[in-house]
Amino acid sequence: MPKPHLLQLTPYPEADQTPLDAAFIVHRYFDAPDQPALLATVGPLVDAIATNGGRGVSAAILAACPRVQIVAVYGVGYDAVDLAPCRARGIRVTNTPDVLTDDVADLAVAMMLALARGIVAADANVRSGAWAATGGPPLRHRVSGARAGILGLGRIGTAIAQRCAAFGMPIAYSARRPKDVPADWAYVPDPVALAAQSDHLFVALAATAETRHVVGPAVLRALGPAGRLINISRAANIDESALLDALEAQTIAGAALDVFEGEPNVNSRFLPLRNVLLQPHHGSATVETRAAMGQLMRDNLTAHFAGLPLPSAVV
Ligand code: 8YV
């Protein structure tokens, strides 16, 4: 059986590239010198598209691939895939849930601790000699027992809540409906009300048209001058301009962000701020998890072309 043609929109680790190259005729769109020309030439041949959570697939690329059968996302977020043409044309879409949940939740908690305890500034204090010269950094704030609010109690939000509960933190969460969770986890569906009762507010929502800018001026006001925001979801869930206003005016205590509008380019207003922790969208970026994501993405592709059920289809 001839190898299917695969249009690859993003680079993968070598360990993932080798098996892809073995199973498919791979067309590397991401480093093509003339991407429109490549698309015009190979688009009619493409059977599958491989991408990641940040890159997705546009309607234009889908339109240039009239015989594409499946879009495989290396990541759990598929908000950057234009689903309307996929649904209209019967194009399957798969992602890589579960295998990255722990890593993303681990980083979210690490970001909370680093922000509240000033880990980055304390490292600089030692490295610069300031500790010896003028003493240690100023006192920071306890995390254990503080109130955790989880905006979006899906797989990752639940894993974050479980970790925070282990720190003795009271848990409150928003979701479309109450979840089957420990009885002392409070269901607070309104984002403003949730922020008002949170010291650390985690944004763990899948990005959709409904969640766009759900964290705006009202939520930030409710979070207040002692509140901290942690975002490991998508930048679109936050009104970044309103967040910058709040950080600059110190009307919230701080924010820890792994995602940004226009990433990897970051708004320069963030750079001088000392009450924000900036991370390079690396929630799932461990050797172990990326290997599992790559394997699951390939398992979906292999299953599709073998006519078998797909391990993790979203369309
Ligand atoms: C990205 C992510 O996919 O899983 C997601 O949705 O945001 C990340 O894991 C990352 O760009 C993977 O390359």
pLDDT tens figures, 294-307: 999 999 999 999 99
CATH for 5-99+288-305 (3.30.420.40, 3.40.50.720, 3.40.50.300, 3.30.230.10): 3.40.50.720
Coil vs helix vs strand at 67: coil
Coil vs helix vs strand at 74: strand
**76 within ligand 1 shell (Cβ under 6 A):** yes
Question: Residue 1: is its pLDDT beyond 90?
Answer: no
Q: Residue 88, Cβ neighbours under 10 Å: how many? A: 9
Q: Tell me: the pLDDT tens digits for 202-216?
A: 999 999 999 999 999
**53 within ligand 1 shell (Cβ under 6 A):** yes
Question: Residue 245: is its pLDDT beyond 90?
Answer: yes
* pTM, rounded to two decimals: 0.96
- The CA 51 to ligand 1 mean position distance, Å, reads 10
Q: What percent of the chain has pLDDT over 70?
A: 100
- The CA 284 to ligand 1 mean position distance, Å, reads 6
Q: Could you tell me which residues are beta bridge partners of residue 254? A: 228
- The CA 225 to ligand 1 mean position distance, Å, reads 31
Q: Tell me: the pLDDT tens digits for 133-173?
A: 999 999 999 999 999 999 999 999 999 999 999 999 999 99
**101 within ligand 1 shell (Cβ under 6 A):** no
Does the CA dihedral 32-33-39-42 come out positive or negative? negative
Mean pLDDT score, 249-260: 98
Q: What percent of the chain has pLDDT over 90?
A: 99
Q: Tell me: the pLDDT tens digits for 63-76?
A: 999 999 999 999 99
**284 within ligand 1 shell (Cβ under 6 A):** yes
Q: Tell me: the pLDDT tens digits for 36-65?
A: 999 999 999 999 999 999 999 999 999 999
- The CA 139 to ligand 1 mean position distance, Å, reads 35
How far apart are alpha carbons 223 and 229 in whole angstroms? 8
Q: Pick the atom of ligand 1 nearest to 234's CA.
A: 7
Q: Residue 148, Cβ neighbours under 10 Å: how many? A: 25
Instruction: Considering the domain delimited by 101-278, tell me its CATH architecture.
Output: 3-Layer(aba) Sandwich (3.40)
Indicate which residue's Cα is closest to atom 13 of ligand 1: 52
Per-domain residue ranges of the chain: 5-99+288-305, 101-278
Please identify every residue annotated as catalytic: 234, 263, 281
The two most distant CA atoms of the chain are separated, in Å, by 71
What value does the mean pLDDT of the chain take? 97
Strand order in the sheet with 171-174: 186-187, 171-174, 148-151, 200-203, 228-231, 254-257, 276-278
Which residue in this structure is represented by tokens 């962000």? 257
- CATH fold match for the domains 5-99+288-305 and 101-278: yes
The band of 114, judged by pLDDT with boundaries at 50, 70 and 90, is very high
How far apart are alpha carbons 6 and 49 in whole angstroms? 6
10 Å CB burial of residue 174 (0-12, 13-18, 19+) is: buried
Choose which residue among 57, 281, 288, 297 to substitute to test ligand 1 binding: the one with the highest number of ligand atoms within 8 A of its C-beta.
Answer: 281
Mean pLDDT score, 179-196: 98
Omega before 264 cis (within 30°)?
A: yes
Residue 227's pLDDT is what? Answer: 98
